């Protein structure tokens, strides 16, 4: 709650908090490793609770930022296949300490029009959600895109535990967890489409539609460098969430 006379939290303030939270998480992981070597399991539990609190703070900040940014929707022409492959590649690298398999199946030259920041956040949310839903021993996450006549469909599915039918609607409500689908839902609404989700005992699937870009309408951007060099700082936040699965 904001106290009387306090200024609203600005972007610089939130960035500073995110950096601090990530530093605490990194130090906590190192401390957990040291405690594990000395078999101090009670202390490890406390450290894990601290990490969990940090992730909740990060999630609240990220979700608030994404909701604000999606109020201003800036569509650009994007190479969908390249972007999805890059996001899957960095997530696959992060999941190397598990037996979770993540694949990407998409044509290289599907050009769509979308807000790139919103699209990146949506795909990362769906991947994190899937990673949390599968077993670290034999989990499978599939990211796929296909070209239709006037649009492209993006699918993210897993072979996880599924979700009870009555809980599906809660996934798209704002919350304090990275991996929730409220941001994805808002991105889809801003894109003029809707988020479709289904889940049963053999897995979960989310999909949404994006408009194809008219030929030669604007410069085609792959955003490869932006994803790989951390320009999208939120990508690093989502990746840090995958550390919990190691």
Residue-wise DSSP of 162-193 = ---GGGTGGGGS--S-TT-SHHHHHHHHHTT-
Q: Tokens at residue 210, please? A: 């994006």
Q: Which residue has the tokens 């940014």?
A: 69
Note the pTM of the prediction, 2 decimals: 0.70
pLDDT in tens, 82-141: 899 989 998 998 888 899 999 999 987 899 999 888 898 899 989 988 998 899 899 999
Which range has the top average pLDDT, 42-46, 149-153, 220-224?
149-153
Q: Which residues pair with 141 in a beta bridge?
A: 102, 158
Query: Which among 203, 193, 89 is positioned nearest to 157, based on CA atoms?
Result: 203
**SS3 assignment, position 213:** coil
**Residue closest to 210 by CA, chosen among 98, 95, 89, 123:** 123
75-245: which CATH architecture? 2-Layer Sandwich (3.30)
Q: Which residue has the tokens 């070209």?
A: 147
Q: List, in order, residues 6 or more apart from 80 with CB less than 8 Å away.
A: 106, 110, 111, 112, 145, 152, 154, 210
Tokens representing 23? 């530093």
Bridge partners (DSSP) of residue 142 are: 103, 157
Strand partners, 101: 140
5's torsion region: left (phi>0), alpha (psi -120 to 50) or beta? Answer: left
Q: Given CA atoms 24, 50, 47, 139 in this order, what sign does their dihedral have?
A: negative
Predicted pLDDT at 5: 47
List C-alpha distances in Å: 185 to 138, 139, 206. 29, 25, 10
In whole angstroms, give the CA distance from residue 145 to residue 110: 9
CB-based contacts of 19, cutoff 8 Å, min separation 6: none
| Inter-residue contact 199 to 170 (CB < 8 Å) | no
Q: Is 223 left (phi over 0), alpha (psi -120 to 50) or beta?
A: left
Q: If you average pLDDT over each of 2-6, 114-118, 152-156, which comes out highest?
A: 152-156
pLDDT, one tens digit per residue, over 159-180 is 987 777 666 666 776 654 444 6
List phi, psi (to 5°) of 139: -70, 145
């Amino acid at each position: 709650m904001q106290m009387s006379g306090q200024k609203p939290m600005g972007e610089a303030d939130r960035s500073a908090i995110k950096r601090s939270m990530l530093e605490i998480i990194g130090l906590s992981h190192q401390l957990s490793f040291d405690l594990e070597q000395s078999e101090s399991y009670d202390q490890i539990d406390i450290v894990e609770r601290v990490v969990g609190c940090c992730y909740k703070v990060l999630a609240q900040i990220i979700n608030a930022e994404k909701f604000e940014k999606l109020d201003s929707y800036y569509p650009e022409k994007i190479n969908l296949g390249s972007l999805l492959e890059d996001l899957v590649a960095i997530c696959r690298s992060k999941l190397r300490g598990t037996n979770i398999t993540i694949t990407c199946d998409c044509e290289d030259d599907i050009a769509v029009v979308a807000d790139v920041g919103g699209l990146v956040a949506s795909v990362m949310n769906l991947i994190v959600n899937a990673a949390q839903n599968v077993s670290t021993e034999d989990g499978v996450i599939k990211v796929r895109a296909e070209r239709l006549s006037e649009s492209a469909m993006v699918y993210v599915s897993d072979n996880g535990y599924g979700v009870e039918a009555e809980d599906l609607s809660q996934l798209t409500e704002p919350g304090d967890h990275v991996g929730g689908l409220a941001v994805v839902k808002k991105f889809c609404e801003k894109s003029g489409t809707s988020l479709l989700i289904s889940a049963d005992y053999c897995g979960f699937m989310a999909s949404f539609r994006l408009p194809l870009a008219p030929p030669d309408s604007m410069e085609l951007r792959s955003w490869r460098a932006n994803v790989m060099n951390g320009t999208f700082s939120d990508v690093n936040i989502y990746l840090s969430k995958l550390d919990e699965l190691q």
